[in-house]
Chain A
């Protein structure tokens, strides 16, 4: 059997000296330990720690300096937070948090360091090899033939260069030198890898507002999706937010032998039925909450538990899949079609094995991906996919259900995948109208014309993104409402992040709540 692979990230300043004296003394350092010298443990982001596991590490040790002895002051604290969050993610993924360890040693503690390494090596030996199978990808040259095919497939030639797209595009309006039509024309002209084109392809929010405005109805989001795929195959990647952590996470989930713990946090008051032909597909919220817990304190998992509570309210007890994987939305929209397909196949197989006839989901991205993108990619599920709002609307319209009055005045942030790409802005509004707030006031840009929350598929977050989010939050505040209701976990994460802008103070702060949360809090039998 292969020896396990253990990566040791060790701080340059303190413990590296201890490691060196072990080497000088020819100490019995376990052979599976591979040492990488780093400038400070605080600079090891969650994505760097996690990437080691994606690439096939069986254990990772992060070794730094004692608190107070950090050369940069706060390095140890950052490392503690990052390790805690990454361990949470490893637990959800079923890899086990024990595969990642943080330890601190002074330069003279070489014996202690040796004992730590030997002990960690034994622990990893006991846990065994990681079930993650890395998928290295080949880089091919950018192909003009392929570009011509993509341009033709989405009828980008029909662009009349009228500029309606850029007059509506939220990225352009945030001040960035970004123009859908200019990009389209450059690509038609054969320019694939100039910095301007690459930047533009990766900056698009794929929100679809331009398609809505385009007199030739060029499907820009689909075009961008395929262009990203092509560029990625050619090794031209865009900037991925959070160091590419989420893409890395989703790629890791394509390993077939993971035993994921997607649901073990679920509150005990929620009833599910493993034999039910209805599956509730929750989505990645538990990962988001773990990742952002020290930064934003978001609680997007509440969307999952509140959706289930609402279903329970109507005596619907769906199945949940303990080993649920990501639907693959963000991989697909950040150009990684190969791994998207791997995830889709694993999901389709799992649904089939469970005998599922209907999937209910509360995430607009999962909804779109399962209902449209799986069949389009050649993986038809033959399962009815229902958005939880449709299910709730159906149950509530049967009657005898009422809502408690809430003290909030509310406004609503449309999710692009449901309101625009799916063309159903009225669906969440039907439910909103049933609630009993002190008032509902729509923002200036709403429904099919709503402004994006600022980011899609964890790519291309920059200062223009923040400007856009600022604008959106100002619109929300201008309605005079005190509660911003959202319908997508990502809208909540991105807008909460924007609120932390230190230069805006509380100008753009606002309470945020998901629609399912507000409903679960106030629904009652008449």
Chain B
């Protein structure tokens, strides 16, 4: 499963986390990048009512080559979890050929799932850059490396346009850190599959 998920006509992405982690913003950026830059169709629905005040929160993005008739996610291709609650609720709803991306320091993985799983230290990377709240951007960078639901350049350009003025450079760095991490993970999987574990074997 080292290769990127094949591009099909229709992709459903679910991003979950706590209110305040920038879940909805991440969804917006993803959708905008797909529609405004990659010239596809996209929709965003978000669940945030009372939940958004520190509770569970989610953004549902659909990206398609053709008109989207129904804007809610039914069986997601990709689920990004930045909280345990989101993982517990949605982890099992991922399609069997889909992928699950979690923040490794915020989510404890339960055994027994055979879906592709990526563990990303997104919050840790963002913290090292000085702002914990950029974990969502790190995640987007990672997503652009491991899947082709949206192109990297489109996503990066939209990130820079969507974040608050004055933080563009920092967010751009966060995006690239996420992307590099994703690229490194794929390379590692590829190397291991080719039987190369270390520098001497």
Contacts and interface: CB of A to CB of B under 8 A. Distances in A.
Interface string A390-408: 0000010011110010000
Contact of B199 (A313, A398, A399): A313
Contact of A525 (B121, B177, B197, B200): B197
Nearest to B181: A399
A399 B180 contact: yes
A9 to B, nearest CB: 44
A312 interface: yes
B86 to A, nearest CB: 22
B174 to A, nearest CB: 13
A327 B177 CA distance: 35
Contacts of B177: 398
A400 B187 contact: yes
Contacts of B125: 399
A518 to B, nearest CB: 11
A306 B199 CA distance: 8
Band of interface residues on A: 20 to 34
A384 interface: no
Nearest to A524: B198
Given A399-B185, A526-B188, A309 B180 contact: no
Contacts of A279: none
B198 A398 contact: no
A188 to B, nearest CB: 50
Contacts of B198: 313, 404, 520-525
A205 interface: no
A309 B191 CA distance: 14
Interface in A467-526: 519-526
Chain B interface, >50% SS class:
helix
A520 to B, nearest CB: 4
Contacts of B197: 524-525
Contacts of A310: 199
B183 A398 contact: yes
Contacts of B185: 399-400, 526
B184 interface: yes
B175 to A, nearest CB: 13
Contacts of B181: 398-400
Contacts of A523: 198-199
A315 interface: yes
> Which of A312, A398, A520 lies at the interface centre, i.e. has the most chain B CB atoms within 10 A of its CB?
A398
A522 B199 CA distance: 8
Contacts of A312: 199
A520 B188 contact: no
Contacts of B161: none
A525 B2 CA distance: 14
Nearest to A516: B199
A526 B181 CA distance: 12
A142 B85 CA distance: 81
A399 B121 contact: yes
Contacts of B189: 525
Interface string B98-140: 0000000000000000000000010001000000000000000
Contacts of A400: 181, 184-185, 187-188
B192 interface: yes
A309 B199 contact: yes
A147 to B, nearest CB: 51
A130 to B, nearest CB: 39
Contacts of A401: 184, 188
Contacts of B188: 400-401, 525-526
Contact of A398 (B180, B191, B200): B180
Contact of B184 (A398, A520, A522): A398
Contacts of B183: 398
Contacts of A521: 198-200
Interface in A281-327: 306, 309-310, 312-313, 315
A433 to B, nearest CB: 14
Nearest to B142: A399
Nearest to B176: A398
Contact of B187 (A306, A315, A519, A524): A315
A123 B185 CA distance: 58
A24 to B, nearest CB: 63
A525 B191 contact: yes
Contacts of B199: 306, 309-310, 312-313, 519-521, 523
Nearest to A402: B188
A521 B188 CA distance: 17
Contacts of A520: 198-200
Interface in B167-185: 177, 180-181, 183-185
B71 to A, nearest CB: 34
Nearest to B185: A400
Given A400-B188, A524-B198, 5 more contacts: A313-B199, A315-B187, A399-B185, A404-B198, A525-B187
Give the 6 A-B residue pairs with the shortest CB-CB distance, closest first.
Answer: A525-B188, A400-B184, A399-B181, A398-B180, A313-B199, A520-B199
Interface of B: 121, 125, 177, 180-181, 183-185, 187-189, 191-192, 197-200
6 contacts: A398-B181, A399-B125, A401-B184, A521-B199, A525-B191, A526-B188
